[in-house]
Structure 1
Amino acid sequence: MAFNDIPIDTLKRKIDEVKRFLSISLSISNAHTVDFYTRAVWSTFICVSPEEVLCAISSTQDRMGAIEEKENATFGFCNASKKLVDISALLRAAKAHCLPGLGVCVQLEDLMQNLRLMTGTLAGETSEEVIAPDEFMNCKKAHEVQAMSEVVASLAKCCRVKQVIDVGSGKGYLCSYLSMRFNLQVYGIDSSSTNTHGAQERNRKLKKFSKAYQKPNNAPRKQTLDSEDESKQHSRNFENTDEYKNSITKEKGRFEPRAEISALSKQVTNDLSTSDNAAECPLDPNDSDSGSSFLSMLCLDVIEDVSPRVHPSQLSLEEREKRKRENLERKAREGRKNNSDDRLFSPLTSYVTAETELKTLITELQDAVLVGLHTCGDLAPSTLRMFRAKQELRAVCSVGCCYHLLSEEFDQDRQGCVDAVCGFPMSQYLKAQACFCGRNARMSACLALERVSAGGGLPMESLFYRAVLHVILRDHYNCFKSEKRVGNVYSKASSFVEYVRRALRKLDLDDTKLSDGDIQSYHEHYSPRMNEMVAFNMLKVILAPCIEGLILLDRLCYLKEQDNVSHSALVQLFDPLQSPRCYAVVGIKESTV
């Protein structure tokens, strides 16, 4: 079974398991932190102490399988009161109902092996060293681009296509890498003209160093490195002699290509770092190893030594004619190459939906792979719908994000659905059950369990300030104004008193109504209960992967319901510590295999 596809009946059974668990536990995720004190959220949902919750979470690895669930409780919730009474049972259930616990994902290594088998490629043929794209982007983006581009390139090879369409392409990181490293013709579509213009400018600068992204030829490269090592050793020995010191003045006026290349690479790196905020993985100009590794990947015609120039008057007529012909041929080759490079990556500005007619955007459209790297909200499901509807789209690789921006069909407000087409649910299976999560739950799904578990923590003080502000609004202003956001007031305030005054002014309320003492008294009253908020938000973090899992299983089920999709899978592409939205939905059309 290619892709190790999970059968749709098994997938539906897994969806039912997650849905049943969330039907009981989702109330915690849907509780808004702003209302934490005004609506007594802790006592409404939890029957254990905050200390017990935090202790159980911190020791979850030791206690997960050691305690039986209490009588008259389901997943740790009392069947009568619907409150949480057994934290250990909830933790066990949450672990069992996230994607890793359900066992529905394909391992990345298995996916790549299956694609090689479908392509007829031997495993040994892809064993060359992978060039990391970390010269001109931050570490997180470099990790994502490298992992996703390998999958996309394999899908393109499997489907025998040379075009890739990247929806929500942003600054074009993935597009540039796919076009330069894999020689694919990439169309990056983004709704922001600023992004597409920036992507085009960035790609223009990167073309100077396009050889750095090409697959290396290991054998010649090794020989080059060996010869360079010998040359460097000889140079070091020579530098200690009087002959070297005497030669300095003779070489003073000679052109030094290495120094000029270092300046050029530094200039381009600075340009790209400035335009793309790529400060997390910069080249250190003082680090000789960094400079050497970068220069070693540049094309040979950039780093080759320049011979001393000979004045044309000293050349024979035959030699001058020969050089003239060579220069004309070289310029013609460069012109053809530049024209080819221009066609490899084409940024386009357009708002894309499932109904977008790609042929109106791409006049040279051929069969292609559709990709989306961290497409926000409804753009991820639109990508999958587009893949199903357009015959020329042979494969898809979609990584979504920003679940809180998804529109829900069975949301009572029905806000955000375009032409009654909503982002969740997608599958007919969940549509038939009128499945609904809620905005707060979808926002909770964006929390990063792995990062929090690794000590990343949550911005608890700012959340605490906001919740206490809500109490002040209730007590003194007879209104909550919940829909009007306070915004980023916390970062500008040095104390709780200043935070409240800034927030009140932003809400167009009279802050002189309260003295500093009145405001501070609220902080002192609720500070002892801050541990309730910490524990409650940790429960939200624990449940986040289960909500994300339901959303992604719905997308996978949607693909499996389509007659023209032969293979589909969920695969973890990224390290969740570096990129919390790490799962991709991958699919291939029927006739491509």
Structure 2
Amino acid sequence: MAFNDLPIDTLKRKIDEVKRFLSISLSISNAHTVDFYTRDVWSTFMCVSPEEVLHSISSTDDRMGAVEEKENTTFGFCNASKKLVDISALLRAAKAHSVPGLGVCMQLEELMDNLTLIYGDTIAGDSSCKVPVPDEFMNCKKAHEVQAMSEVVASLAECCRVKQVIDVGSGKGYLCSYLSMRFNLQVFGIDSSSTNTHGAQERNRKLKKFSKAYQKPNRAIGNRALDSEDGSKQHSENSDGNTNFITKEKGRFVAQAETSDLSKQVSSDLSASDNATLDPSDWDAGSSFLGTLSLDVIEDASPRVHPSRLSLEERERRKRDNLERKEREGRRNDSDSSLFSPLTSYVTAETELKTLITELEDAVLVGLHTCGDLAPSSLRMFGAKQELRAVCSVGCCYHLLSEEFDEDRRGCVSGVCGFPMSQYLKDQACFCGRNARMSACLALERVSAGGGLPMESLFYRAVLHVILQDHYDCFKSEKRVGNVYSKASSFVDYVRRALRKLDLDETKLSDGDIQSYHDRYTPRMDEMVAFNMLKVTLAPCIEGLILLDRLCYLKEQENVSHSALVQLFDPVQSPRCYAVIGIKESTV
């Protein structure tokens, strides 16, 4: 059975549907909250009351069913005035044109099933072997993301028969450490911040304390068996060359790899008797004591003889054995530490990876919440470099994307922009706008679950803009006020702090003058609340267009055999929950 790819013709049809809807509704998302009162945004776009909007959004009934739209309207907008006259029609259309509503997203279980069907049933991402992520080093959100994404990345690596992973925008290195420790993958974490890479290195050192919990149980059980009274014992050699015994008791396998305490017990028991003598031929393999020890420990548990009673040849032999053992352990530790290599570099689609990674082999390219243009750059890198066999990219910060058809093309590097990526949307000169991309970062599921919006701070900023327009002829609206709200004790304090930050004369206004603006616009605050809730409702549609563009780009590449859009995370915990997955044909 083939990988259940979404046909590119179907994808293009879905893109056209989203584009048509946004061509009418995108004006709401592009309206700037700062200008809400100075440009009377509500009256410009709306022919319904704020109360009607809020009631419809909070009522699930208005979203259900296909109700015929009012005459001379499209998606609830009047064809003549271009204003919203039917809120229920808009909400239904927004739901239908979001990623879930379009039916273009592959479920995680379906992805894993597809990989199993193509590449066999021994992929590393078997969900039955999940190991908890230690939350001492990351919050619940990050732990959720790392565990879910690592399963997919490890599966892709197994499918493509590669042992290397390149994480672009690796940040603090949580995903890198988890992939290297649990799945024994060699991971190169690339981040432009030296602070991040140095911190990731130190954090990885601390995380090694938990490496045994990370390590995925080895499914291959060795052929060597030891008979016993209680049952059979088998051992398997892990990737580091250590031998772990597996005891079969009453039909179940119990891993017994923790030997340090037992080693101490052996030493204590042996030293308790000066005349202790043990003949290895007399050891009972079924013993609950020695049967759980690794071979190294058993070999060390030889009869204790005072050095003065040993021959010169025996003393030299033991010295050589000890030196060889230390060298083996040193090589093993060096190998472990090299599994994760943080690198500091700014990467683009043109970056030559082999100059950064001298030991580069075929690898999986990953990015967990790569900001702005880094997500599309990594997808372009995947398409251009043959050594990159698969990609798993989760983007974020859509407001930092550069747009090819923006008037000033801000942020485009060497003429290459982050949106659109696909030739299909390039040919249509598709454009969103920064405010709309900013709106795409809003989290509908989180707001619906009670997360809310920072409405008071937005209200303060919009009323401040009215004050600047009324009293300062050359007000610096282009200069960012910044996070003044968090430090302010009241609206008056907020305005005064903002005026000082903008280098404006605050003596022009008394406290009473400032407070009067607050009192005048407070009755209209519900307009802003309702309008921003509409922005939240439209956010998944804008995000969907950006993600479908990236998926379409992969489908346009001749060397990419399989591609999909997959929901990896719980959208309430992690709003940017979609991954763009790509796989190249195997060269084996």
Could you state the TM-score of these two structures normalised by the residue count of structure 2? Answer: 0.84
Determine which of 541, 546, 552 is the counterpart of 1:557: 552
1:293-313 deviations in whole A, cap 9, x for unaligned? xxx999614554733654999
| CA gap 1:89/1:96 in 2 versus in 1, 3 angstroms | same
Render the CA deviation track for 1:531-581: whole Å, top value 9, x for unaligned.
000000000000000000000000000000011111000000000011000
CA distance, structure 2, for counterparts of residue 456 and residue 211 of structure 1 = 37
Give the Cα separation in 1 of the matches to 2:256 and 2:52: 58
Bigger RCO of structures 1 and 2 (CA < 8 A, at least 6 apart): 1
Residue by residue over 1:357-383, the C-alpha shift from the partner in whole angstroms, topping out at 9 and shown as x without a partner, is: 001000011111000000000000000
Once residues 370 and 219 of structure 1 are traced to their aligned partners in structure 2, the CA distance between those partners, rounded to angstroms, is 28
Q: Does 2:414 correspond to 1:419? A: yes
The answer (yes or no) to whether the contact 1:64–1:88 under 8 Å persists in 2 is no
Native 8 Å contact 2:125 2:155 kept in 1: no
Q: Report the equivalent of 1:255.
A: none
Letter in 2 for 1:567: H
For 2:175, the equivalent position in structure 1 comes to 174
AA in 1 matched with 2:112: M
Q: CA RMSD in A?
A: 2.4
Task: Indicate the residue corresponding to 2:214 in structure 1.
Answer: 213
Who is 1:354 aligned against?
Answer: 349
User: Pick from 501, 505, 517: which aligns with 2:500?
Assistant: 505
Where does 1:51-450 land on structure 2 (aligned, <5 Å)? Answer: 51-61=51-61, 63-65=63-65, 67-121=67-121, 126=126, 128-135=128-135, 136-216=137-217, 300-302=258-260, 304=262, 306-307=264-265, 309=268, 310=271, 315-317=305-307, 327-450=322-445
How far did 1:127 drift? Answer: 5.8
Q: d(CA) in 2 for partners of 1:592 and 1:147?
A: 28
Aligned to 2:251: none
**Paired residue for 1:18?**
18
Does the residue aligned with 2:390 lie in a helix, a strand or coil? strand
Higher Rg of the two aligned structures:
2
Q: Secondary structure in 1 aligned to 2:343?
A: strand
1:34-45 matches, cutoff 5 A: 34-45=34-45
Aligned to 2:284: none
Q: How does 1:421-500 map to 2 (within 5 A)?
A: 421-500=416-495
**Could you tell me the percent identity over the aligned residues?**
83
Query: What's the offset of the Cα at 1:479?
Result: 3.4
SS at match of 2:338: helix
Specify the SS of the correspondent of 1:455.
helix
1:123 deviates by 8.4
Q: Match of 2:380, as an amino acid? A: R
Cα distance in 2, alignment partners of residues 301 and 156 from structure 1? 31
Match of 1:32?
32
Task: Give the letter aligned to residue 581 of structure 1.
Answer: R
* Partners of 2:123 and 2:159 within 8 A in 1: no
Q: CA deviation at 1:211?
A: 1.1
How much has 1:590 moved relative to structure 2?
2.6
Counterpart-to-counterpart distance in 1, 2:519 and 2:553 = 51
2:45–2:83 CA contact under 8 A, matched in 1: yes
Structure 2 letter corresponding to 1:199: A
CA contact (8 A) 1:397 1:587 kept: yes
- 2:535 aligned partner: 540
After superposition, the Cα gap between the structure-2 partners of 1:194 and 1:561, relative to the gap in structure 1 and judged at 3 Å, is: same
Q: Is the 8 A contact 1:60 1:91 kept in 2?
A: no
Structure 1 residue matching 2:367: 3-state secondary structure: strand
SS of structure 2 residue aligned to 1:415: coil
Contact 2:187 2:341 (8 Å CA) reproduced: yes
**CA displacement, residues 388-440 of structure 1 (integer Å, 9 cap, x when unaligned):** 00011011000000000000000001111001100000000000000000000
State the one-letter code of the partner of 1:7.
P
Is there any run of 5+ residues in structure 1 with no aligned partner, and where? 221-295
Correspondent of 2:583 among 580, 585, 588:
588
Q: What amino acid does structure 2 have at the position aligned with 1:435?
A: C
Alpha-carbon shift at residue 134 of structure 1 (Å):
2.9
Whether the aligned pair in 2 keeps the contact of 1:444 and 1:540 (CA below 8 Å) is: yes
Change (3 A) 1:385 1:297: farther
CA deviation profile, 1:108-158 (whole Å, cap 9, x unmatched)? 001011112222125899364310213321111111111111111111111
SS of residue matched to 1:211: helix
* Distance (Å, rounded) in 2 between the aligned partners of 1:562 and 1:401: 23
1:284-335 Cα deviation digits (max 9, x unpaired): xxxxxxxxxxxx9996145547336549998433789597666545423321
The two structures have a TM-score, normalised by structure 1, of 0.83
What is the identity, as a one-letter code, of the residue corresponding to 2:68?
Answer: E
SS at match of 1:92: helix
Secondary structure of the structure 2 residue equivalent to 1:116: helix
Query: Is the 2:167–2:367 contact (alpha carbons within 8 Å) kept by the matching residues of 1?
Result: yes
The structure with more helix, counted as a fraction of residues: 1
Q: Aligned to 1:300, what secondary structure does the other structure show?
A: coil
CA contact (8 A) 2:125 2:154 kept: no
Structure 2: tracts of 5 or more residues without a match? 222-253, 275-303
Q: Matched residues in 1 for 2:220 and 2:419: separation?
A: 51
Deviates further, 198-207 or 127-136: 127-136
